Amino acid sequence: MFAPRFFGWMILVAVGFACIETRTEGQGTPKAKPKPGAPLVGDPNDLAKIGSALSPVAMVPRPSTLKGIRAWSIESKKHRWSVDYLSVRPDGRKLATSGHDGIVRIWDTESGTFERALMGHEGRVSGLAWSPDGKYLASAGYYTARVWDGATGLPVRVLRGKYGVSLVAWSPDGTKLMTGGGGSGQIAIWDVAANKMLADVEYGQPVGSIAFSPDGENVAAAASRAGTYIADSLKLKTVHVFKDVLDTDYAVGFSPDGKQLAAGSVKQTVIYNVDSGAVIKKIMSPGYALTWTPKASLILAGTSYLLTPYAPGELLPGKPLDGGASVLALQADGTNLFGLYGGQVIQWDLEKGTKVQTITVGEFMTVTAGPSTSVLVPTATPALWDAVTGKKLGGLDAHKGGIVASAWGPTGKTLAVAAADKKIRVYDPATAKELRTLTAPAYVSALSVSADGKVAASTIDKKVVLWPAMGDQPLQTLTGFSHVVRILAWARDGRLISTLDGNEITTWMSDTGKNLKTVEHPRPVHSLIWSTDHGRLVVGSSEEYVLSAYQASTWKIQQPVLEKGTSAFAAVTSMWSPDGTVLLGYRNSTIQQWDGKTGRLRTTVGSSGHASTIAYWQDGKTVVGGCIDRAARYWDSATGRFRMTMVVEGNEVFAVNAEGHYRIPETIESEVIVVAMTDKIQESLSLKDFATKYGFRNVTANVK
């Protein structure tokens, strides 16, 4: 039931102080507290504004205005990108899941089918918990914890913490909610009905797991490398601090009688006596996730997330369950256990020790986009699809073992794709026609294609192989690297290529393999790109978000390239505009355009928290981001205005524009839903039911 959910950016802002500060003052101006047992009523200000996006992560950012509806969006039934958390309703009939796509999804456990989506969070949702009576669902993401009405799907409370919130846990009586997370390791206790913070404390390190004791008098928290804490639930005053294992703490959970606390870490799981703080037992297995059953047996996710039940009393290990999980959720009566691993939820009958069913709740993959209007979809049967028409250009059937790397030429006329069989196939992206096949000496880790059609491949045996624009025999093999080369960057004329070995940047003559210059860059490198006049090698770095450049004539570093006073910049990937005047870069979920001569920011094109490749179409009018949430996103390059999203669903694709018009094949319509919010409900409808109920008229021609 308890498992860690850390935000990488939270760790970066961790203050790391050793002292513990406790506060008990209220925050904000609470409304009059409802009578005990009265239904929670939401604040209308927490609902989406009429005509606005349902949330910052909504696929439809500018929904068409419809009578009787506040906001709406189109979504896939299954999560896009990583699924991170789950919670089962106490009666076991409903299951909630969440993850990086920022949307909470509800599933019927009896049928294993999707039921509804809840939208409102700004980004990744990493914590979930049903209330003890099953009427409400709490979720945690970014800077808010939200409490949703299980019947209507509307938010009835939005609790805004001072730091990031990634965890939630209900008190046994359902009146209080504990939140946790953030780089400072804050946990807080909230009076849910009054919408008031009662107390908070900071442990100085990110908190990865929290729990209430069965009697509600104590709480527990696992703080990374700071230890495990037990505090009273009234003022969060520390009762015990356990520092037996000061590595990464993963999960905590109280036994059913509240007398013991299990604390899992990356190395072992320790059982403590809650009253005395003494160690009762050490289980030499990691505790990535754990839960106690009502009969006081402990179920532990250990090595490789293998689930092992430990019998009551001496806690001796029993027969492992069939399958593994990184997050656990137990039905209140202890009959059914649910475990999450990847995009699947497994259900076990604990009395029989057997697997009941497996529910697929999420799918994710990286869609690759380039200067061509086509996108590469790396499914089990990889294919190229045209973003303009939505039609499949052709399957890349010759690839075996899955695609491991791909690269577009800067003109958009060439695409190189490497598979696990060491074969690199070069295609015409406009037709999906295979032009030639190259054989690498080992597994390929990175690819790059020059403007004139040369191909470079980095392999795991620490080599870089260069092929000419035509033919299948290597031109040169570059050796002497200390690491597997991560980045390859061709000069526009194809005569030079730069490689990244650790932090060493080396520039080579492609025809002779001669090493022209090796420099040790002072910061970690995220991207390399040559200026179109071959005069500068531009380097993007994540440390201090600096974009610098080397003058090719002197190899002296010039930094920063961008104007001072602008937002920090670090390109994960970058590309020049077709006319060579504008540099396109990606930094902190934002795609930006910079003047190549002055270094000034021209336009912030758009926000995409999932982009892995960015490019201009060759007409220069469109910016595309290929994303890891099985989507590609498109913006107008002149204005930065968002245009549409293209999403992979099964072996098909569908597209949705910014106003909600769509192009969806009939074969996958059943996997796509509309999430609609009114003053009374947030519901998930089929495309046809949405059109009938709210009068939406889809115009396919608008999707472009």
pLDDT digits (tens, 9 = 90+) for 472-518: 999 999 999 999 999 999 998 999 999 999 999 999 999 999 999 99
**Domain 8-20+42-362 matches domain 365-520 at the CATH topology level:** yes
Taking residues 44-61, what's their average pLDDT? 94
Greater confidence, 571 or 179? 179
Reply yes or no on whether the pLDDT at 9 is more than 60: no
What percent of the chain lies above the pLDDT cut of 70? Answer: 91
pLDDT of residue 10: 31
Q: Smallest Cα–Cα separation from 627: which of 141, 101, 26, 40?
A: 101
Q: What is the pLDDT of residue 549?
A: 84
The 10s digit of each residue's pLDDT in 113-154 is 999 999 999 999 999 999 999 999 999 998 899 999 999 999
Tokens of 655: 């597209």
User: Across residues 39-58, what is the average pLDDT?
Assistant: 94
Closest CA to 119 of 170, 166, 53: 53
Mean pLDDT computed over every residue of the chain = 90
Lowest-pLDDT range of 324-333, 376-385, 553-562 = 553-562
**Is the model's pLDDT at 604 over the cut of 50?**
yes
φ and ψ of 689, to 5 deg? -65, -35
Structure tokens at 539: 């380097």
Task: For the chain, give every domain's residue range.
Answer: 8-20+42-362, 365-520
Q: Tell me: the pLDDT tens digits for 525-575?
A: 888 999 988 899 988 876 655 677 899 989 998 766 665 434 434 444 678
**pLDDT average, residue stretch 160-188:** 92
Q: What angle do CA 102, 106, 110 make, to 5 degrees?
A: 150
Q: Which of 160-169, 184-193, 324-333 has the lowest mean pLDDT?
A: 160-169
Mean pLDDT, rounded, for 593-613: 81
CB-based contacts of 692, cutoff 8 Å, min separation 6: none
pLDDT of residue 599: 76
pLDDT of 587 > 90? The answer is no
Cis peptide before 560 (omega within 30 of 0): yes
CATH architecture of 365-520: 7 Propeller (2.130)
Backbone angle region of 442, left / alpha / beta, with phi > 0 → left and psi within -120 to 50 → alpha = beta
pLDDT at 244 (0 to 100)? 83
CATH 3.40.1350.10 matches 8-20+42-362: no
In angstroms, rounded to a whole number, what is the distance separating the alpha carbons of residues 292 and 261?
10
**Does pLDDT of 402 surpass 70?**
yes
Q: pLDDT at position 245, please?
A: 74
